[in-house]
Amino acid sequence: MNQSLSLASQLSQMRCFLMDMDGTVFLGERLLPGAVELVDYLEQREIPYFFLTNNSSRSKADYAQKLNRLGLTVSEQRIFTSGEATALYLKKRMPSARLFIAGTDSLKEEFRQHGFEIVEERPEAVVLGFDTTLTYNRLWKLCDFVRAGLPYFATHPDINCPTENGFMPDIGAMIAFVQTSTGRQPDVIVGKPNPPIIEAVTAKSGIPLQFTVMIGDRLYTDIALGRTGITTVLVLSGETKAADVAGSPFQPDWIVENLAELYALLSRAQSVSG
């Protein structure tokens, strides 16, 4: 059996598919090849799937609207963000905490929907998200709170976010800024590849990790989830290029060019078995 058929055979045993979005399903305002076909394949076979993104600058409602606008018909229930995972994580541990959030209005609303009070002064904990509205004064305020010793959480660790025209600095760059100023790293980083987000999505799907596959474009987040026991597929449509793989400590189980190649493999395997 060749490598392509081996991949298709293994994926045919999976009972839940997790897909990254930025660089995997779309780039900017462009849907990437194979996204529609793969989702249709999963829908027709009633295989559970979720779009699992570290990008916390948008809510699941925002993402559902964007995917629908780009031509991919999905509901909010298929979206799981690091922002939602962080809110769920804190709800179990600090359910009534007053929070200072360095994040977009969408992220703040996510936390409000989980019952948190969002404040600018005298918070009990601080949350750093991918804040595309960040100002120097708010970053300064965040550093003051972190330096004062308040519990400090970050939604995810991504250094850059892929776009159609290159990369934009992501939360990892902000974490480095805060660390340089305060000497502190976040107490907990929730998003991929850390346990809190995969524990949350597994609780949502009800499917064990050994029957779950993560498809994404970033080695140190998507593919690093492999250490949890999940199967990983790297797509080369976003941040990672083929030459980057050999030197990485995070090795994918499989590599494909994009979702179109993955869909083609699954379709061929289905026709052979059928």
Predicted confidence at residue 1, as pLDDT, reads 38
The tokens for 191 are 């998003």
pTM: 0.86
pLDDT band at 269 (very low <50, low <70, confident <90, very high): low
Predicted confidence at residue 109, as pLDDT, reads 93
CA–CA dist 50, 52 (Å, integer): 6
Q: 189, 224, 241 — which closes off a domain?
A: 189
Q: Is residue 150 part of a domain?
A: yes
Q: Which ranges of 12-162 does DSSP label H, i.e. alpha helix?
A: 35-44, 60-70, 82-93, 105-113, 136-147
178 and 117 in a common domain = yes
179 and 225 in a common domain = no
Predicted confidence at residue 166, as pLDDT, reads 84
Which class for 99: exposed (0-12), middle (13-18), buried (19 or more C-beta within 10 A)?
buried
Q: Is residue 261 part of a domain?
A: yes
Q: Is residue 177 part of a domain?
A: yes
pLDDT band at 28 (very low <50, low <70, confident <90, very high): confident
140 and 203 in a common domain = no
Q: Is residue 255 part of a domain?
A: yes
Q: Binding site: what residues are annotated?
A: 20, 22, 192, 217
Q: Is residue 227 part of a domain?
A: yes
CA–CA dist 155, 113 (Å, integer): 16
Look at residues 147, 78, 89, 134 and name the one whose alpha carbon lies nearest to residue 116: 89
223 and 138 in a common domain = no
Which domain range does residue 179 map to?
A: 83-189
Q: Is residue 37 part of a domain?
A: yes
Q: 189, 218, 242 — which closes off a domain?
A: 189
Q: Is residue 68 part of a domain?
A: no
CATH number at residue 36: 3.40.50.1000
pLDDT higher than threshold 60 for residue 37: yes
Q: Binding site for Mg(2+): what residues are annotated?
A: 20, 22, 217
Q: 189, 220, 248 — which closes off a domain?
A: 189
Structural domain count of the chain: 2
CA–CA dist 192, 23 (Å, integer): 15
Q: Binding site for substrate: what residues are annotated?
A: 192
173 and 142 in a common domain = yes
pLDDT higher than threshold 70 for residue 274: no
The tokens for 205 are 């799907």
pLDDT higher than threshold 50 for residue 231: yes
145 and 119 in a common domain = yes
Predicted confidence at residue 167, as pLDDT, reads 86
Predicted confidence at residue 161, as pLDDT, reads 85
pLDDT higher than threshold 90 for residue 241: yes
CA–CA dist 256, 265 (Å, integer): 10
pLDDT band at 196 (very low <50, low <70, confident <90, very high): very high
Question: Which residues are 127's β-sheet partners?
Answer: 101, 153
pLDDT tens readout for residues 44-98: 999 999 999 998 998 888 999 999 999 999 999 999 999 999 999 999 999 989 9
157 and 118 in a common domain = yes
More confident residue, 207 or 5: 207
183 and 218 in a common domain = no
Q: Is residue 201 part of a domain?
A: yes
Which residues are annotated as catalytic? 20, 22
> What is the share, in percent, of the chain residues with pLDDT greater than 70?
96
pLDDT higher than threshold 50 for residue 103: yes
Q: Is 28 left (phi over 0), alpha (psi -120 to 50) or beta?
A: left
Residue type, 210: Q
pLDDT higher than threshold 70 for residue 3: no
236 and 158 in a common domain = no
CA–CA dist 103, 95 (Å, integer): 19
